[in-house]
Each structure stands twice: as structure tokens, then as C-alpha cells.
Amino acid sequence: MRGKHYVYAGAVGLAVAAALSLSVSVTQADTKRDLKVPRFTVDGSWPKMPLPSAGDYGTPLVLSTSTGKPKPWSTGEVAGTCIDSRDHVFIVTRGNLVNSPETLDSVPAAPVIEFDTAGNVVNAWGDRNVLPNGIHGCFIDYQDNVWIAGNGDGIVQKYPHGGSHLPLLQIGTRGVCDNPPANTCGNSGANPLANMSHTLLNQPANMYIDPNRDPVTGERGSIYIADGYGNHRVVVFSSGGTWLRQWGGVAGVVNNPSTDSPGLFASGDGGHPHCITLGNDGLVYVCDRADDRIQVFTKTGVFQRIIPVVPGTGVTLGIGGAPGLGTAGSAWDLAFSNDYAQNLMFEVDGGNEIVHIMSRVLGTILSGFGAPGLQAGQFTFLHSVVLDSKGNLYTGETINGRRVQKFTRVECNNGRGRGNDNCDD
């Protein structure tokens, strides 16, 4: 692979945890070994084109009056990316086509599209009249069920892996949100009656399903929800949909993300919290997007620490106390590396259109890749990221980006000591 152009060509060396012995906690660094920061190159051949057409996978058949052939699919915004046990990548699409030419020469793609490892479409499904309005995040749990949230609605839904017309489980009520007294969906902001319901959500951004036993109930499959576009909380439900606990609330003015309003989330509309994931260290990592930070809690909501991303991107102050850019912030989504210690975090910064490679232990940015733009390897409204078993990354873009991209990890080691067939000659 010599001579190939890399999106990321290396980083300044930083000694951090690289491997973990059985006696070392995943919260600690192994200073005896140097952490190797991976390199990635964009794969412009993934996914395979063309996408399916009208009439495929149960979508309505619409013929083009100019060609007489079925119109091709257009995804609209790619709101979420998630991955199953076979490394199949799922994307959830909004189907919101651009008014001319897309609305004339194409049709909305199926809401949920499944790609195999080569980038071929192998399944697609979903009913937009049943799925959440404003499809946002997706997550595939330890049983390969597909979970979908909607930031224009008040529901999180669980579907079987192959899809179905109706969900297996739904938390919340479609079109009804935790925003009393009218229960309209939207930013609850200073409403003291919001952020409290045990049955309703308010524009949830994403979710994570815990494969391990809950620290309170002892049962597996607790559902952690970033209830963050209308509300400003993390809320946890049992695998059957019963409310268990919650934490968070509305932050005050956050000038310094490291110190101001710890444990609380930005008050504005826009996904605060925007992402949620659980680490092998047993902690919950939550994106407080506008406040340019990742906040870390125990599974019962005890605040642990703050990891700033890029202050001055959202509402926090920038260099020299300058006002933030106001680009919705720098903490959008998060995936951990495959090693058991999860030494690295791959953090989506849609405010600066970069995927940051960060030390989980130190909370520092080691390197990253990406830049604003529409070419392969660039981003426009970078929104989500997911990691496969070989250490490759897949990103989704919304608004004007509207695509999924694959970034191949170049090193032979995927983080767990296994190769990914991308070794240099």
C-alpha cells in the first residue's frame, strides 16, 4: 500500500495505555507501552453504486417519464450509522429529497438500509408512517435488534434485525412529548415541568443498550437514552420499557466546558445530550454537543469527569475569550477502539467537520482526519460514526452532506491483535 494517499498520515507520539493486563483497570494507562495512533484512508468504492431503485425492497414502483425505467433511490440525510455482529453497516435515512432535481429524478430510499462488508445493499426496510419523525440515531444491540430514535418525535423503537412493519418495543408516544402542559415536541428549555416523565420522551437523539447486568435491577438490556433535543437528560429504562432512573438537566451559561455546570446539558435546541455510549470501564459517556464536551457518569448517574473537545465551537468561549462559532458544537458522536482497554476514542466534531482521535484516559486529542467539503474524505454536517471489528470507521452526514463514507484502518492490528488485511507490503 506504499504511495497511497492517507487521510490521516500519523500523529505526534504520545505515551498512553496500549495494552491491558488482567490486573489493570480499564480506567488506567499502561505506561510501559506506547499507544499507536492509527491511520485511515477513505474508501471511495464503498458503498457500491448504484443503490436500488423504486420497486426494490418493497418501495413503491415509480417509473421515470424520460427513461421508462424505475427511478433510483436518494437517501436524503443519513441520520445514523450502526453495525451488527457480522460487520454489516446499517444507515437510517430521512428521505428528505432536495426539491428539484432530486424530487423529480429520484425517489426516497427505504428508511433503513443494510450494507454487507463489501458495500452491497443486502436488505432495506421501514415504514415512515410508523418510524419516528425526524429519524436520528440508530443502534444495534447484543442480540442484533435494531433501535431507532427520532429528534422530531417522542419515541425510541426496537425492531428485529431483518425489519418489520411494527416495532417490537416502543418507548414514548408518537407525537406526544415530555413538555407539559401541552406536551408538544420541542425544546423544553426552562420549563420546570419537563425532563421528568417516566413514560414520555422529548425528541431523543440516540440510545445504547447495555449487554451487561444493570447495577440496580441485575437484569441485562437496560436502555440508556440521550433524551436531548427537547429534553436535556439521560434516562434509563429496563429491557421491557419500564423507567428506572435519570439524571442531567438544564445547564446555565457554559463559558468553560471543563468547569461550568458539570452534570448538566446545554439549554438550547440541538441535541444536548446528542450521543450516549457505555465503555468497558462501566461508565457512561455522553455528548453535550453545544457545550463542546463529553461528560462521563456511572451507570447510576454519578458524575465522574468532563472531557472537553474543541472549546469555542459551540456556545463556549474560544481562544482569548472570543465567542464560540455557534456551529452546534464539537461533541456529536463517539466510538471506542476495539482493544479491551478502549484506549482510543473516535469523536465526531460536526462543528469543525473532523473525526478526532482521542485518548480515552487522558481526554486529549491525538490527531484526526477530515475537513469541510463534499469530496471523498471531506465532511458536510458530519453527524455519526461507528466502528467495525477490523477497526474501520463509517461516518454519516446530514443536511447538505447526505451520505455514508468508509475509512479503512491501514494498520494490520485492529486494536485486538488481529489483522485487517491492510498491511503494507
Q: What is the pLDDT of residues 327-380, one digit of tens each?
A: 999 999 999 999 999 999 999 999 999 999 999 999 999 999 999 999 999 999
pLDDT: which is higher, 278 or 20? 278
C-beta atoms surrounding 417 within 10 Å: 10
What are 248-281's pLDDT values in tens digits?
A: 999 999 999 999 999 999 999 999 999 999 999 9
**422 Cβ neighbours under 8 A, 6+ residues apart:** 1, 408, 409, 410, 411, 412
Report percent pLDDT > 90 for the chain. Answer: 87
Give the closest residue to 156 by CA, choosing from 77, 266, 268, 237: 237
Residue 418 lies in a domain: no
Residue range 2-21: mean pLDDT, rounded = 33
pLDDT of residue 21: 29
Give the whole-angstrom CA distance, residue 34 versus residue 344. Answer: 12
Residue 423 lies in a domain: no
C-beta atoms surrounding 253 within 10 Å: 11
Residue 175 lies in a domain: yes
Give the whole-angstrom CA distance, residue 328 versus residue 275. Answer: 13
Alpha-carbon separation of residue 23 from 19, 20, 29, 217, 362 (angstroms): 12, 8, 12, 27, 20
Of 9-23, 31-45, 198-212, the range with the lowest mean pLDDT is: 9-23
User: For the chain, how many structural domains are there in total?
Assistant: 1
What's the pLDDT band for 381 if we cut at 50, 70, 90?
Answer: very high
pLDDT at 51 over 70: yes
Domain that holds residue 362: 40-409
Alpha-carbon separation of residue 265 from 32, 136, 248, 316 (angstroms): 37, 19, 7, 12
Give the whole-angstrom CA distance, residue 222 versus residue 211. Answer: 8
Please calculate the CA angle 184-187-188 and round it to the nearest 5 degrees. 75
Residue 279 lies in a domain: yes
Helix H or strand E segment including 423: none
Give the closest residue to 273 by CA, choosing from 252, 258, 251: 251
Residue 314 lies in a domain: yes
Cα R_g (the chain), whole angstroms: 21
Give the closest residue to 257 by CA, choosing from 323, 310, 334: 310
**In contact, 339 and 379? CB cutoff 8 Å:** no
Joined together, the cell numbers standing for residue 2 give 506504499
pLDDT at 156 over 50: yes
Sheet containing 233-237: give its strands across: 206-209, 223-227, 233-237, 243-248
Give the whole-angstrom CA distance, residue 332 versus residue 292. Answer: 9
Task: Number of helices (H) and strands (E) in the chain: give both, helices first.
Answer: 1, 26
pLDDT of residue 414: 62
C-beta atoms surrounding 311 within 10 Å: 22
Residue 98 lies in a domain: yes
What backbone phi and psi angles, to 5 degrees, belong to 275?
-140, 160
Q: Where are the beta strands (DSSP E) in 303-392?
A: 303-308, 333-336, 344-349, 354-359, 365-369, 382-387
Give the whole-angstrom CA distance, residue 135 versus residue 205. Answer: 9
Joined together, the cell numbers standing for residue 327 give 456551529
Q: 368: domain CATH number?
A: 2.120.10.30
**In contact, 353 and 380? CB cutoff 8 Å:** yes
Residue 115 lies in a domain: yes
Look up cell 444491540; give the residue.
Answer: 141
Amino acid at position 380, single letter: T
**In contact, 215 and 185? CB cutoff 8 Å:** no
Look up cell 453527524; give the residue.
Answer: 383
What's the pLDDT band for 2 if we cut at 50, 70, 90?
Answer: very low
Residue 31 lies in a domain: no
Mean pLDDT of the chain, nearest integer? 91
Alpha-carbon separation of residue 317 from 34, 221, 256, 332 (angstroms): 33, 39, 7, 18
